[in-house]
Structure 1
Amino acid sequence: MKELIRRLSSSSSQYEPLISDGKKLRRTVSEGHVPVYVGEEMERFEVRTEHLGHPIFIEFLQRSAQEYGYDQQGVLRIPCPVSLFERVLDHLMKSGDHRELSDEIKADVLRVFGD
């Protein structure tokens, strides 16, 4: 898992995202961030690299590896409802990277992942 985080955080700021309308889109990623696609909608987010060490992101990365394999090509995909992912990001940005998640968010994560 540490190797995956290291690879993601040191990857180039350019990447090849999904194809839209038959054309490849190319976007830059803000320094210190990692691009991810979340949920069935494949909504794009830029996640601060320091968030990748948070226990909830380790869980997200483990779920991603289970769902899509460790050798994903291109942008990292995370199998999580977009609304829950947004709440987790919002909580981490407001409370700091390594703070405990609220009980409500923890309950929602457990409900979604079923563990």
Structure 2
Amino acid sequence: MKQLIRRLTRVAESSTQYYLLRSEQAKRRTRRSASGVPEGHLPVYVGEEEMERFVVSARFLNHPVFAELLKRSAQEYGYEQEGVLRIPCRVVVFERILELLKKGKAEEEIVRLFSEDFV
């Protein structure tokens, strides 16, 4: 009988831990979905006249093209932008750059595309 009680106690404790873990995960998901931006991503507005919202993976920020985009953003809007980051680039070009980055295409092709848009 004592063994049965011990087993049931362990099962109850593990299910409580499982429930607590699941509720913490649910809270994190709720926090992310409230802003509409998944973890590891950031929202940016892209465009010249009319802006379009994109959610971009943070890993792309290390790419040289993004460094140039951020530099142009600072030149256009200043370093003290408030709110969401704005990038002065044609939406079509930005979509193509993201597509190439996601596919892992050669950096030269992305830089060429980027250069053609701003020359």
Q: Answer with 1 or 2: which has the greater Rg.
A: 2
2:45 partner amino acid: Y
TM-score, structure 2 as length reference: 0.66
- 5+ residue gaps, structure 2, are 1-30
Cα distance, 1:112 vs structure 2: 2.4
Deviation at 1:107, TM superposition (A): 3.2
Match of 1:60 among 56, 69, 85: 69
Partner of 2:57: 48
5+ residue gaps, structure 1:
1-11, 15-25
Task: Give, in whole Å, the separation in 1 of the partners of 2:60 and 2:98.
Answer: 9
Following the alignment from structure 1 to structure 2, what is the Cα–Cα distance between the partners of residues 13 and 38? 22
User: Which of the two has greater helix per residue?
Assistant: 2
Give the aligned partner of residue 111 of structure 2: 106
Q: Is the 8 A contact 1:36 1:76 kept in 2?
A: yes
- Superposed CA RMSD: 2.2
* 2:81 aligned partner: 72
SS of residue matched to 1:77: strand
Q: 1:85 to 1:30 in 2, by over 3 A?
A: same
Secondary structure of the residue aligned to 1:92 is helix
> How far has the Cα of 1:13 moved from its partner?
5.7
- Taking every aligned residue pair, what percent have the same amino acid on both sides? 55
Contact (CA 8 Å) 1:91, 1:101: kept in 2 or not?
no
